[in-house]
Amino acid sequence: MANYIELTTENFESTVGEGVSLVDFWAPWCGPCRMLSPVIDELATDFEGKANICKVNTDEQQDLAVKFGVRSVPTILIMKNGEIVDQVIGAQPKQALADKISAQL
């Protein structure tokens, strides 16, 4: 089973700089974030070797949240080669997120 990648300011650019990445900005106190967590885990398995499935804890990585203008969690960015190509706010069904990733592959 694949695991998602925990992003920090140190590994963000090197991780999302190439290929397709889903980046989930979340917080431990956020109910919808907790509901989305198993979906992120499943996507990490489904897209292993094809796309980076990543999470950013906004409580611990406030600089990244500010850099990307994250005002509410969960905020999910779909990135391709380091550029934001899609964004959704709030918990989403697994298939909706999978479709957004697949569209960029």
Q: From CA 85, how far away is CA 16, in angstroms rounded?
A: 12
The single residue listed with the structure tokens 């709030």 is 90
Which residues of the chain form beta strands (DSSP E)?
A: 5-6, 20-26, 52-57, 75-80, 83-89
How crowded is residue 84: how many other Cβ atoms within 10 Å of its Cβ?
13
From first to last of its 105 residues, what are the pLDDT tens digits of the chain?
579 999 999 999 999 999 999 999 999 999 999 999 999 999 999 999 999 999 999 999 999 999 999 999 999 999 999 999 999 999 999 999 999 999 999
Q: How far is CA 101 from CA 9, 43, 85, in A?
A: 23, 9, 10
**What pLDDT score does 2 carry?**
72
**What pLDDT score does 1 carry?**
59
**What pLDDT score does 45 carry?**
96
Catalytic amino acids?
30, 33
Give, rounded to a whole angstrom, the gap between the first and last alpha carbons of the chain: 21
**What pLDDT score does 87 carry?**
97
Closest to 27 measured CA to CA, from 70, 69, 58:
58
Which residues of 27-90 form beta strands (DSSP E)?
A: 52-57, 75-80, 83-89
